Structures are given as C-alpha cells and as structure tokens.
Structure 1
Amino acid sequence: MLKQLNSIRYMYIRSHLYGLILNTFILLSILLSIYVWFQPDWLSAGAILMFMLLYIVIGFIMSLYAGFRSSGDVKHRLDYISMMITQLSRGNFSKRIYFNENDEIAAVGDELNVLGEKLEQQKDSLVKLADEKSELARTAHKAATIEERQRLARDLHDAVSQQLFALTMMAQATEKIFDRRPEKAKEQLQEITQMALQAQTEMRALLLHLRPVHLSGEPLTEGIKTLIEELRQKCQIDFDVDMEDLGDLPTSVEEQLFRVVQEALSNILRHANASEVKVEATHDQKEIFLHIADNGVGFDTEDKKANKASYGLKTMRERCEEIGGSYSLRSRKGEGTHIDVRVPVKVNVKGEEE
C-alpha cells in the first residue's frame, strides 16, 4: 500500500492537493480580510464558511481527477522505459522505444535506444572475438600436437630406434659366432641384455611423458603417489616420497605441477641412470615447495648444446612461469640433479583454520 502511494500517479495527486490547500488558505485570507476591513452586507461569516467548504469539496474532486489524468501519460511512458531496461538486462538489445513528445522523458528513451545499439554492437564483437579465440585455440592445439609428435618421433629415432637397430646387429653377430667363440657370444649377450634394458627404460620414459595430464579427480599428491607407485613396479629405482597434504588447489596449478613431476621423472629415466629418486612436496600457507632430486650421472648446466634434456627442462620452466611460480635447477656431473619449484598460492588444508 505504501509503495503504491509513492507511485508517480499519487505524486501528481498530492501535488494537486498541495495546490488546493495553498489556494484555500490564500482565498480564505482574502475573504476574511474583506470581511474585517469593509464588512459588506453580502459577505457574512456563514457565507465564507459555506463557500470554503464547497470550494474544498469541489477542489478535492477536481484534484483527484486532474492528478489521474495528467499522470496517466507519464506513467505509461515510464512503464515503456522500465520495460526497455528489463529487455536490455535480459540481453534483448534489439528492443527500441519511440515517443511522439519532445521532452525529457523522450530524451531518456532516445539515450536508451543508443545504449541498446552500442550493447548490440558489443555483443556481436564479443561473439566474433569468441569465435576467433576458439579458432586460435584449435590452431594452437593442432600446432602443439604436431610439435609434440615431431619431438616424440625424434626421441624414438634418436634413442629407441637406434638401440633396437643395434640390438638386431649384435644379435645377428652373436648368432654367427655362438658355436665358434661361445665366450665372446656370452659377452655380447650381456651387452644385448643391457641395451634391451636401456631401450625398455627409454620407452617407459616416453610412455610416462604421454600420460594424460588430467588427475581424474584425484588431488595432486595422490596423483603423484599413484604415478610413482606405477614406476616402482616397472623400474629398479628406489623412490623416497615425502608429500604433505596440499589441500584444495586450483585445477590449473595441480595440472601444471603434475606435468612438471612427469617431465622430471621422464628425464631421470632416460638420462640420469639413477638408482635413487627423492620427491618432496611441502607448503607454508603462502606457497607450495616441490623438490625432485636424483643420484644420477648429472650434467653440466652451462653446456646447453650437450644437455640432452634441455627441451624437457625448458618445458618445466615454462609450466612454472605459467602459474606464477619459480623454477631452479642444480646439477653437476657425477653428483645428480636437483629441481626446486616454488608456487605462490594459498593452501587451505582440511581441519586447519583459515
């Protein structure tokens, strides 16, 4: 009820009533002044009272009528404007309103029409940009897929393919000298066994690199532990895993860190010739610290050309930078390799107060 009394129609009625009250007081003052000063015979106190009562009753009725009539057009035009705003808020930017009058309300309607045109243009631009972005994403994905295939092809050719070719040649040679020189054949068989194990390790590293990036709903720590458990069953490497509960992390952070661990383990399998690997993950509420170390052959970090794992190391650095983290590498020949990753992210662990 109070809301209706505050509507534009009742505002018009109140303004007419205010005018009626003001005119009543002015007219009453004039009549009383004439009655006091001049005291004409035709003007008496009863006549003044009767006149004022009739004036108030008739004026009240006319105020109601005039208020409803004069506010009707304004109310309808404001309703159209309100409907226009509702349509714009719902995304219907093609809606337009037009008024025959040339006043402030019509100017507001024209401004809303201009706003609708601009919003419609922006919507078309955003749709176009979204299509272009989708196309660029498909192109980038296609290019990344081609690049990854080329890289895997190079790795297979440089490592596994050449090792298998060497195995074939040595096996043929061993077969020819087996009866004549059994001791030499036995030595070559041992070499064949070592080369087969190396080829198997290379293949496992490539398969590890091809593992899907998605964690299938698992937390990061559980995904890493599952990955290492699979490697324990396939490789003669002692894994030392020490991982704290990292809580709920953004999906992008989890995926990139999981990829970093994958890449690091792949490099260890292929190049480090390590017997021990340590994986640590800790946090201090403000950042995550990831440490991966091995006791392998190591390499000279300054010798970029001789570094066979340079592509993988570059990829790990880029993944860390994408999530705002820092990446550091320490390695020396004969002393293994140490990789440290720090990612600034707030860690909320279940059971701890935020």
Structure 2
Amino acid sequence: MVLIPVSRLAHTHGSVGLNGVGLLVFSAMGLVFPTRRWQKLLYTIIEFGLLLLLALVGQIPLFQLLFLVLVIRNCVLFDGYARTIITVLTFVACIVCLLNRRALPFRVAPDQLGVFWLGSLLIFGLVILFLQLLVDAVITERKSRDALAEANIRLQQYAMKVEELATIQERNRIARDIHDSLGHSLTAFNFHLEAAIRLLKVKPSKAEALLLELKQLGAQALADVSQSVAALRADPLGGKPLGAAVATLVDHFHRSTGVLPTVQVNLDQPLSHAYNLAIFRVIQESLTNCCKYADATAVSVIVQPVNQQIQIIVEDNGNGFELEKNTTGFGLQGMQERVQALAGELRISTAPARGCRVEVWLPLE
C-alpha cells in the first residue's frame, strides 16, 4: 500500500482544476478577434500570462502545443515585424518553461538534462519556424485571392466605363460624319434651289440644269443618310486621292457660290486613310461654313508639308465672326475632335468683317 502525502494530493487536485479552467479560458479566447492595436496587445499579454501559469504552476503536460496555438493566433492578428517579435517571445517563454524541471512531463536523468533541453529547444524552434512560414503562406495566399477578386470587380467596372466611353465616342463620330456629309449636301442643295428659283423666269434653261443638279444632290444626300445609318462604312473620298477629292469639293463650292477657290495640294508622300479623311473633312467643313455664312469673294485652300508637319489652310475674305461667341457650332467641334485624334492642332483666326482663316497642323506619321 502506497501512501500519498496530503499536501501533494491537494497540489495535484489544485493543478487539475487550474489546468481545466485555464484550458477553458484559453479556448474561449480563440472565439475573440480583437481589431484595434491596443486590444491585440492586451489579448496577447493575457495569452502569455495564461500559458506561463499553466506551464509553470499547473504543471500541464505538452504545454508546447498551447504555445504553437498562440503562434498561429499571432500570425492571424499581427503583420510584419510585430508577428516576428511575438514568435520570438513565444520561443523565449517556451525556454523558460523547459528550464523549470517541474514542468517536464516525465523524468529525465540529470546527466541527460542538457541534451534533452537542447533537443527540445531545437525541435520546438524548427516547428515554430515552419508553422509561422506555413501560416504566413496561407494568409498571403488568402489575401492574394481577396485582392484578385477585388481587382476583378474593379476591372469589370472599368470595362463597363470603357464600353460606355467607346459608345459615346462612336456616337460622336457618327454625328460628325452625318454633319460633315449630309450637312454639306443639304447646304449645296439649298443654294442650288435658291439659284434655280431666281433663274426660273429669267433663264429657264439654266434653272432646269440647276434642278437636274438638285436631283443629283438629293440622291447624294439620301445616299449619305443610308451610309450614316450603316455606321458610315463607305469612304467619303470615294476611293479618290486626296487631291482629286478636294478638287471635287472645290467644284461643288464653285457651282454653289460662283466663287472658284485657289487650291494647292502639295504632298511629298502618301498619307494614311485616317489622315486623308481628317484633311478632307476639315476642308469640307470649312468650305461648308464659308458657303453658309461668309459671303466671300475669294477663298484659298492649301495642303502642304512644313517642318515634319502637314499644314492645312482654308482662308476666305468673307464676313467673319466672333469666335468667342460661337460655342455651340458642332462643325467646329467636330473639326477639333478630328484634329486632336491625330495629335494635331487647330487654329481659327477670324473677326467680324475680316474673313476667316482655319489652320490645322498635323504631325507627319
């Protein structure tokens, strides 16, 4: 029969009770997730104190597992250097507990105690290091997935905005082309009609010729409308070189106003379709405005290369206008947008009774 001292028995029962309550509190703390920095520090200090109490006073076996749980919680709570500092403090706390011989779960011979401590510390240190790296990798991967999901959401939003902007730009392009093509045809149509009305009683034969041209212009206007509805895929230049297309514009202007512009189209090298189209539309819009408002007697059109740039000038000696007050003209806005799309510059010089000079500079391709 083995007799156990009363003091040792009381200590054993006390340790069991302390360990049970400590483990219960430590487990319950896992349900709490502090957010503020001071809350995290207080939370970690309480964990350290509780584990040291269980390991040194309660003599709980395998206390290293509890410290491993603390390392995992530390990785979740802290980032960067704070996480490393807490892990190092955990390792130091484990050393303190191992140095207390009473905390060992089994007896170790005195001559083997040093080897046991060294091996235990080495194993525990490697386990802590591996555990922290593993948890870091898992958390980093989780954050990367969250960041990727957020980036995908932002990308979808950006794609919707880009689609909306592309739709607006396409609407503006179609509006510009309708204005440039159909507006030009209707302007010429109106001037031909007025001339035919004036000549109907005086020179019926000439009025008849103008009416025949009106019929052609009306057909052209209908064709322009059809082309605009079909997203304006047809070439406004009609497959002609830029010089020939400009000559056609000038001929229409001459027939409508009786004024024959002087034309100089001198290009050393062929240009892309985008450049040819922009130059054609600028000249077309300038001549249309001149036909509508200028009442000019002299008009000049110049297209020439100057210092690695292309210079386009359409100048008249007509009525002119106050440029600051002309803020709603869609034709001028369309010209500005076309020139800016090619990284060019548009300059308009005009004043009442001083004519108008439209000058465009485009960088050579």
TM-score category (smaller protein): 0.3 to 0.5
Scaled by the length of structure 1, what TM-score is found? 0.43
